[in-house]
Amino acid sequence: MKLKSLILGSVAAAGLSTAGFAADLGVLTSLDVCDSLGISGLTISSADNCLQITGGVKYEFNWGDFNGSFNGMGVNAAAGTRNVMDNNNVVVGGTTYDNDWDSKVESWVKFAGTASSDFGPASAVIKLKNEWKTTVVNEGYGTTGVAGSGLTAGNGTVVIDEAYVSIGDTTTIMAGKKGSIANFGDDEPFNFLGLFNSDAVDKGVMFAKDLPYDGGHVIQVVSDLGNGVVVKAGLENLDSNATAAFGAAVPTNAATTAGWYDAVAAAQNAGTVIGVLEYAGDGITAHVTGMAGGILDGVVENWAVHAGVTGTFDMFKVRAAGAYSANNMNDTYWNVLGSAEASFDMFKIALSGEATGGQNNGTAVATQTGVGGSIGATVTEGVSINLGGRWFDEDTGTNNTEGYQVAAQLVAAVSETIKITGEVGVYGTNKAVAQQTDFYGAAELAWAPGGGFTSSVKGEAHQNGAYKVTFKAAKEFK
């Protein structure tokens, strides 16, 4: 219920007692400014401004023996590393220390004050965010056996995650601190296990796992041209102190001192021009995002393109996506992905493939490829199963560089609010390592009673001795 409803009700009751108070009710009719601006949810109004308040809290607790990383089993893709969970016990004074745990709280609150103008709604947005995580590895002894080396305490610092102004309706101008306008969507594989390299870059295709060069301090323009076409343009990363750019090396100067180089490298990568063209309609969504980084010094140090398209045609969905980046040090990187899905009365079949490659200082690097597929079936109402596998070849120039995963999953909706998910599978590799397979099992109980509240408990155990129990709870308000 809106706060303005409470205010109106209280003042109306008081206004019935005297004519003076009744006259004041005419002023409070301006509280409808939120409705006139099309803003709903938790709001507070004045004569010409609507303040919308949103927020949320997420909590996660993990306990077990899981902080190790089974490198021999992992897939080391060009854009990131995907390793299997492992234990990493230490022995101190004849006593084995093996328990790991971590506790994390994420919270945010966002205030958006909006008023009407001749150019459309004018807003000022402030978002406060906090992440507090405490990690304990091997009961505090870490991997070295030194007391206290396995403790990482969160500081609970509240940061201003967003602070920007915007104005406009079909064309919107934004400036301040906020996220990027870049579109990196339409690129996730449809099969339920996904793909190995896709996981390493946050499920999709990308030219770097992390993006220190977009968002931040920005000036942006977004325009809806109608008929599903949207264009975006922005100048971002104006506050950059990043020394990495699009996942490629920063130009180096061996004659400089380390401190001077660090500062210059950061400055050379500041300023990223971003342009986006999007389309959504007639069963098709598509986009092209172009980026040029390090422009504020007058020289483009790096550039990149990300594109994706998804088509939905009756029982079929198809998707294709690609990313490419290059810099002025003759480094290039490309990543492509394709996926298709067919849905029938009881069955769903999906097949996906991916590949990566590029050059390092002008010399070609090995092309890496991966495939994945799955079949899903609805057994009864509320009960479904998924069978799938995925494979990846690092192709690093040596033999025995393949890794794989095969899994079976059961999903059962016990009620409208409770869902149970179980999974068994195996990771494997043909690398020359001591343990070439790792069987695992996992089960999760998820609860969504309504009101935006969600919670879950999950247990996972591996053949290599690792295990973990995870509890999650979250709630957002809008």
Residue 285 and residue 183 in contact, taking contact as beta carbons nearer than 8 Å:
no
Confidence of residue 246 (pLDDT cuts 50, 70, 90): very low
Which pair of tokens denotes residue 358?
């590029």
Contacts of 355 (CB under 8 A, 6+ apart): 335, 336, 367, 368, 369, 370
Strand partners, 350: 341, 374
Backbone angles phi, psi at 5, to 5 degrees: -65, -40
A 10 A CB-CB count for 253 gives 10
Instruction: Calculate mean pLDDT across residues 253-274.
Output: 55
The tokens describing 248, both together, are 């490629």
16 pLDDT higher than 60: no
DSSP 18: -
Predicted confidence at residue 34, as pLDDT, reads 92
**For the residues 39-47, what does the mean pLDDT come to?**
90
Distance CA(248)–CA(411), nearest Å, equals 41
| H/E run at residue 458 | strand 453-462
Ranking 198-202, 214-218, 224-228 by mean pLDDT, the lowest is 198-202
The pLDDT value recorded for residue 328 is 76
Query: Where residue 31 falls among pLDDT bands split at 50, 70, 90?
Result: very low
The C-alpha atoms of residue 36 and residue 25 are separated, in whole angstroms, by 18
Q: How far apart are alpha carbons 236 and 215 in whole angstroms? A: 5
How high is the pLDDT of residue 25? 39
Strands of 414-436 (E only): list them: 418-429
What is the distance between the alpha carbons of residues 478 and 463, in angstroms, rounded to a whole number? 43
d(CA 340, CA 157): 44
Tell me what pLDDT residue 269 has: 76
Higher pLDDT, 304 or 251: 304
- pTM of the predicted structure, to 2 decimals: 0.84
State the Cα–Cα distance between residues 182 and 473, nearest whole angstrom: 30
What does the longest C-alpha to C-alpha distance in the chain come to? 91
pLDDT greater than 90 at residue 277: yes
CB of 186 within 8 A of CB of 317?
no
Residues near 94 by beta carbon (within 8 Å), at least 6 away in sequence: none
Q: What is the pLDDT of residue 315?
A: 94
In angstroms, the Cα distances linking 331 to 79, 242, 254, 366 are: 14, 18, 19, 14
| Position 452 confidence tier, pLDDT thresholds 50, 70, 90 | very high
pLDDT of residue 364: 82
**C-alpha pair distances (Å), 340 with each of 185, 191, 349, 351:** 16, 8, 8, 6
Cα gap 379→398, rounded to integer Å? 44
pLDDT of residue 412: 97
- What percentage of the chain has pLDDT greater than the value 70? 83
Least confident of 23-27, 149-153, 166-170, 198-202: 23-27
Strand segments (E) across 137-236: 151-152, 158-168, 171-178, 216-226, 229-236
Share of the chain above pLDDT 90, in %: 57
Question: What pLDDT does 164 receive?
Answer: 98
Whether 303 has a pLDDT exceeding 90, the answer reads no
Tell me the per-residue pLDDT of 383-427, one tens digit each, with 9 for 90 and over: 999 999 999 988 766 677 888 999 999 999 999 999 999 999 999
Q: How confident is the model at residue 469 (pLDDT cuts 50, 70, 90)?
A: very high
DSSP class of residue 295 equals: G
Q: How does DSSP assign 19-60, residue by residue?
A: HHHHHHHHHHGGGGHHHHTT--SSEEE-SS-EEEEEEEEEEE
From the list 221, 219, 251, 436, the residue with the least C-alpha distance to 327 is: 251
Reduced to 3 states (helix: H, G, I; strand: E, B; else coil), residue 410 is strand
For the chain, how far is it from start to end, CA to CA, in angstroms?
A: 11
Q: Which two tokens stand for residue 77?
A: 């893709």
What tens digit of pLDDT does each residue of 338-392 get? 999 999 988 999 999 999 888 877 788 888 899 999 999 999 989 999 999 999 9
Question: Cα torsion for 187, 191, 196, 197, to the nearest 10°?
Answer: -10
- Of 103-107, 114-118, 171-175, 204-208, least confident by mean pLDDT is 204-208
Give the sign of the dihedral formed by CA 247, CA 250, CA 251, CA 254.
negative
pLDDT in the model for residue 85: 80
255 vs 346: CA distance, rounded Å = 66
Structure tokens at 366: 């090995």
Question: Distance between CA atoms of 423 and 44, rounded to whole angstroms?
Answer: 47
Least confident of 97-111, 206-220, 253-267: 253-267
**Least confident range of 20-24, 195-199, 212-216, 265-269:** 20-24
Q: Angle at which helices 19-28 and 3-15 pack, to 10 degrees? A: 160
DSSP state of 258: H
Span 75-104, average pLDDT: 81
Question: Do the beta carbons of residue 182 and residue 192 sit within 8 Å?
Answer: no
Q: pLDDT tens digits, residue range 107-125?
A: 999 999 999 999 999 999 9
Q: In this predicted structure, what is the pLDDT of residue 72?
A: 60
Task: Report, as an integer, the average pLDDT of 304-321.
Answer: 96
